[in-house]
Each structure stands twice: as structure tokens, then as C-alpha cells.
């Protein structure tokens, strides 16, 4: 009996995701173990205490404004009967695993399964550098929603993008970088009519995200900030001091330089072949300098997890340099047997 080609394509896709998904499941467990090993605050009562304050809406910003960071573990706690620490473990493990799987699917737009696998492996390899003794547990879901937002913009999927903006806005304000990605990617010309259409579409699509973040921040405006919003002098002084006292055998201690280490030479590879990049990556790469600048000005740059949302931009750009024959301007959907 002749097999339906469309069904064969679907079986290949499911097989691919299953085989690689097993690897990503193990990698997410390794990442979790590394995080828990470094984070003494997870089990010494700090996490449970912070969670109680968050549930009473009596904690500091920006953590109090990142609702899903503590509401999802609370849901796991109530539905599954998990302890608070275990509920947060499930949250991190789940979202890192899903981020790995989705990153593979995201990269398949341009690359073969093998090159896509390499991209996910690189992401998994750099994650340990982002793990510190902190409790910034909106980061795993942020990584997933940021990647999903990039994919929805690239694929012109407005309903999915709005849904992602709603979820992402409830979790972390870093999602506010994505409307700029939408704007840059959908730019057509400098004609007034095109610009008006572009700004209108950007505003309409981004409105749920802006409203959600705005309302949450307005409600929590009286909560003291966890850190000052002006970190530029400290970050620059730290970078210059560690560059001046550079010790090659102790680079692992140069935490102000982790900004360079997190993607390493991929920062350079990403821009070497800029002219040959797919249009989406060309346009989104324009966000990278501004993204870095905002975090150098307003964040602790030693907390290099801040750069992880750029994985969906920097890693595929670098892969296009490393595997130029694999980097396609556009690939058909895996399940589409017609080639359209």
C-alpha cells in the first residue's frame, strides 16, 4: 500500500522531535542540577520566604511585577501538592526543556536537523555561565516566550504573537524589546503610507503587551525597586577594572566580562557574513546593540542571563557563518508536502 507523503512528512517531524527531544530533556536536567548546585538560597528558606512575600504582594520590584514567576509555581504547589522549592524546580526544568525543543524547531526554518541540533547544544553549553546564586525565576519562561515571539514575527503569525505578548507580559518586561523587532522586520519603505501602516500594525499588535506591563507596573509602583535603574558607572568601572587587571588563568572570575563570554566568538561570527544573512536575521540584528545598551545602563551586567533572549538572534546568525551552505533564506514548513 502506498504511503501518503504528507503523513510521512509528519512522521519524520515527530520522529525528529522525539529523538532530539530526549537529548534536550537530559540537557535541561543537567542545567537544572547546575542551577540548584549554585543557588544555596533555593533550599535555605530564602526561596520559600520570598514566594510567601510575592503571594502577599509585599515584595520588591521588578520581581513583584513578574506575576507568572510566582503564580505558576503556586499553581503547581496547589494542584500537584508539591513543596514550594519543588514547584520552582518543576517550573525551571519544564521551561528550559521546552525552550530547547522550541529553539530546535525555530532553527529548522533555516537549517538542517544536524545544524539545528548544534545550535541547541551551543545554547545548552553557555547556560551554566548564566547560573548564579539568585532567584530570578522568570528567566526560563522569558527565554521560551522571547524565542516564540521571534518566531511569530518571522512567520507573520499575528494571533500567536498577541498570545505570546500576553503571556510574556505577565512574566517579564524584557518582552518589550520585541515590538521593535516587529517594527524593523516589517519595514518596507520610507513612504508615508507605508510608515503609517507599519506603525499602526506595530501598535495594534503590541498593545496587549504594553497594557499588561503598564497596568502591572502602575499597581506595583509603590513597591521599592530591587536594584537602582542607573548601573552604567558601576558596570563600566567593573569592565575597565577587569580588563586592566586581566589574568588569563582566572578569566572565570572576570564576571563583568561575562557579557563577552556568554556567546564567545559567536558575537563575531554572527556579523562576519552579515550581507548573506536571511532578511529576518539582518533586521533583528539591529536590536542587539540597543538591547545590550539598555542592560548595561539599567542592569547588573554580571548577571549575564540578561543576554540569553538574544540567543534567538546571535546563534542562528553565527550558524549561518559556520554552515553557509545550510543557511537558507527560506525553508518550507516541515509538515508541508507541497513544498510551498
pLDDT tens, residue by residue, 31-50: 999 999 999 999 999 999 99
Q: Measure the CA–CA gap between 131 and 65, rounded to whole angstroms.
A: 22
Q: For residue 131, what are the CA distances in angstroms to 125, 134, 171?
A: 12, 8, 19
- The average confidence (pLDDT) of the chain is 92
Q: For residue 14, what are the CA distances in angstroms to 7, 10, 112?
A: 11, 6, 15
State the CB neighbour count (10 A cutoff) for residue 82.
Answer: 15
Helix pair 67-80, 46-55: axis angle to 10 deg: 100
Residue owning grid cell 520570598: 50
Give the residue-averaged pLDDT of 213-219: 95
Residue owning grid cell 563575531: 268
- Phi, psi for residue 281 in degrees, rounded to 5: -70, -35
Residues 6+ apart with CB under 8 A from 263: 126, 270, 307, 310, 314, 315, 318
pLDDT tens digit string along 220-260?
A: 999 888 888 899 999 999 999 999 999 999 999 999 999 99
Residues 6+ apart with CB under 8 A from 220: 57, 61, 64, 65
CB 231 within 8 Å of CB 298? yes
Give the residue-averaged pLDDT of 293-317: 96
Q: For residue 87, what are the CA distances in angstroms to 72, 81, 128, 149?
A: 8, 9, 21, 26
Q: Measure the CA–CA gap between 135 and 46, rounded to whole angstroms.
A: 9
CB 178 within 8 Å of CB 166? no
Residue 326 pLDDT: 86
Q: What is the pTM of this model?
A: 0.93
CB 270 within 8 Å of CB 321? yes
Q: Is the pLDDT of residue 165 over 50?
A: yes
**What SS3 state is found at 61?**
strand
Q: How far is CA 102 from the centre of its chain?
A: 11
More reliable by pLDDT, 4 or 207: 207
Residue 287 pLDDT: 97
CB 110 within 8 Å of CB 327? yes
Amino acid at each position: 500500500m502506498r504511503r501518503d507523503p504528507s503523513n510521512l512528512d509528519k512522521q519524520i517531524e515527530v520522529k525528529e522531535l522525539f529523538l532530539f527531544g530526549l537529548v534536550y530533556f537530559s540537557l535541561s536536567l543537567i542545567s537544572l542540577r547546575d542551577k540548584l548546585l549554585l543557588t544555596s538560597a533555593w533550599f535555605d528558606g530564602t526561596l520559600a520566604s520570598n514566594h510567601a512575600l510575592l503571594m502577599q504582594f509585599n515584595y520588591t520590584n521588578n520581581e513583584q511585577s513578574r506575576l507568572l514567576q510566582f503564580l505558576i509555581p503556586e499553581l503547581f504547589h496547589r494542584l500537584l501538592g508539591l513543596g514550594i522549592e519543588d514547584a520552582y524546580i518543576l517550573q525551571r526544568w519544564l521551561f528550559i526543556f521546552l525552550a530547547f525543543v522550541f529553539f530546535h524547531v525555530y532553527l529548522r526554518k533555516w537549517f538542517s536537523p544536524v545544524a539545528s541540533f548544534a545550535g541547541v547544544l551551543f545554547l545548552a553549553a553557555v547556560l551554566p555561565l548564566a547560573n548564579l546564586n539568585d532567584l530570578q525565576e522568570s528567566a526560563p519562561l522569558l527565554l521560551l516566550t522571547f524565542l516564540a515571539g521571534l518566531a511569530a514575527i518571522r512567520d507573520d503569525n499575528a494571533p500567536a504573537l498577541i498570545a505570546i505578548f500576553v503571556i510574556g507580559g505577565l512574566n517579564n518586561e524584557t518582552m518589550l524589546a520585541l515590538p521593535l523587532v516587529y517594527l524593523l522586520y516589517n519595514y518596507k519603505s520610507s513612504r508615508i503610507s507605508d510608515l503609517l501602516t507599519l506603525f499602526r500594525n506595530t501598535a495594534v499588535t503590541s498593545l496587549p503587551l504594553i497594557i499588561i506591563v503598564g497596568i502591572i507596573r502602575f499597581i506595583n509602583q509603590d513597591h521599592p525597586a530591587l536594584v537602582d535603574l542607573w548601573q552604567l558607572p558601576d558596570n563600566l568601572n567593573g569592565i575597565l577594572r577587569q580588563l586592566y587587571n586581566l589574568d588569563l588563568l582566572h578569566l572565570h572570575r572576570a564576571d563583568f566580562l561575562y557579557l563577552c563570554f556568554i556567546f564567545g566568538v559567536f558575537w563575531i561570527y554572527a556579523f562576519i557574513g552579515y550581507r548573506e544573512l536571511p532578511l529576518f536575521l539582518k533586521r533583528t540584528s539591529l536590536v542587539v546593540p540597543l538591547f545590550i545598551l539598555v542592560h548595561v545602563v539599567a542592569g547588573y551586567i554580571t548577571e549575564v542571563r540578561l543576554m540569553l533572549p538574544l540567543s534567538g538572534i546571535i546563534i542562528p546568525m553565527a550558524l549561518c557563518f559556520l554552515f553557509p551552505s545550510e543557511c537558507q533564506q527560506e525553508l518550507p514548513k516541515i509538515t508541508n508536502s507541497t513544498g510551498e
